[in-house]
Amino acid sequence: MNATPVDLNPQGQQMADESMVRTLAAQIEAIWPQEKRLIDLYRLPREARVLDVGAGTGEFSARIAEAHPEAQVLGVELLRASVDHARVRHGGFAPRLSFETGDAFHLAQPDDTFDLVANRHMIQSVPHVERILAELVRVARPGGHVHVLAEDYLMLHMMSGPHDPDVFWRQGAVDFATRTGTDARIGRRAWTLLREAGLKDVRVDYVVVDTLRVPRRVFADIITAWRDGYVETMSTPEFPPTLVRQHFDEIIASILNPEHYAVWQVPIVSGVKVSQGLGRTTENGDQGSPSVG
């Protein structure tokens, strides 16, 4: 008997929803000011070649192009509609910023090509993450950097209201991911996965999206867009849509409440591709820092 094929894009409907455009716009506004400091640590060459895998609407690709005015940046995205959106929105950076459709599981780019290979807001939504990471490493040049923003939905912390948000993230986001064969806690596993992919100098940094570092409205916009894209699919008979929406709305209200504090710790895990013949990394090659906030 043949095994049932695994859906490699089990959240494709949510990724294609209009709410994802709003999600990515709010997330880059919240995250980029801190993330840019990490990119600066890589000391990219002036004419760097950069690949953004799972580029979505191109928000990160465009900011890399803006920050590195002589770099050549390519965004690869599975969804044609997102590629079209990115080309229009960021056309001012063409031709050194370009976008094309492509599959993160089977990248068309050649081996040993890019100074920086980035993958953001993606590996929590797909199975077989190790296959994607192998592709990121393959196309990075020896000595190049692989940069992975790996979400973890139990690193979201809000003050309790009528309902406990900690229960919501576990019963809502984590259980939904499990049903789709994905891992909503992939952020805490990413360090191990990048080491297993053969990178050296693997480090974990955190972008702190909270109500002190990020405007409350921007933080709330992220959660609002998640709500609009995921209420129905996160629902179960025990956790109906009305209750899912109520949880989301309470969290949004808490973020907007000037007397409340909320935080999303966002792991960014990075490593360096081993030069040919140097072998795998060792314990002494790993690094970490608590925050760039």
DSSP letters of 44-68? --TT-EEEEET-TTSHHHHHHHHHS
Domains of the chain: 12-274 (3.40.50.150)
Residue 39 has pLDDT above 70, yes or no: yes
Q: Is the pLDDT of residue 284 over 50?
A: no
Residue 13's pLDDT is 72
Lowest average pLDDT, out of 100-104, 210-214, 235-239, 276-280, goes to 276-280
Mean pLDDT of the chain: 92
The per-residue pLDDT for range 176-193, each reduced to its tens digit, is 999 999 999 999 999 999
Q: What is the mean pLDDT of residues 208-229?
A: 98
Can you give the pLDDT at residue 8? 77
pLDDT at residue 285 above 50? no
Distance in angstroms (rounded) separating the CA atoms of residues 168 and 251: 10
Phi then psi dihedrals of residue 143, to 5 deg: 90, -10
For 236-275, what is each residue's pLDDT tens digit? Answer: 999 999 999 999 999 999 999 999 999 999 999 999 999 7
Distance CA 153, CA 266 (A): 9
Confidence of residue 293 (pLDDT cuts 50, 70, 90): very low
pTM equals: 0.91
Confidence band for 5, pLDDT divided at 50, 70 and 90: low
Weakest mean pLDDT among 55-59, 167-171, 198-202, 285-289: 285-289
| Between 212 and 6, the higher pLDDT residue | 212
Mean pLDDT of 150-171: 96
Residue 9 has pLDDT above 70, yes or no: yes
Asked whether the predicted pLDDT for residue 277 surpasses 70, the reply is no
pLDDT at 127 over 70: yes
Among residues of the chain, what percentage have pLDDT more than 70? 90
Confidence check: pLDDT of 55 > 60: yes
Q: What percent of the chain clears pLDDT 90, i.e. is strictly above it?
A: 87
3-state DSSP of 73-134: EEEEECCHHHHHHHHHHCHHHCCCEEEEECECCECCCCCCCEEEEEEECCHHHCCCHHHHHH
pLDDT band at 278 (very low <50, low <70, confident <90, very high): very low
